[in-house]
A and B are shown apart, each in its own frame.
Chain A
Amino acid sequence: MKTPLFLIIILMAACVYAQDASIKKDGSTYSIELPAVRPELKPGDGKERTEAMCNICHSLDYISMQPQLSRGGWTAEVNKMINVFGAPMSEDDAKVIINYLTIIYGKKD
Chain B
Amino acid sequence: MNITLRVWRQANAQDEGRMVTYQVADVSPDMSFLEMLDLLNEDLTVKGEEPVAFDHDCREGICGMCGVVINGTAHGRGDSPVPTTTCQLHMRSFADGATIDVEPWRAGPFPVLKDLVVDRSAFDRIIQAGGFISANTGSAPDAHAAPVSKLKADRGFDAATCIGCGACVAACPNSSAMLFTAAKITHLAMLPQGQPERYTRVKSMVAQHDAEGFGNCTNIGECAAVCPKEIPLDTISQLNRDLIASLFKKDGK
Instruction: Report whether chain A binds chain B.
Output: no
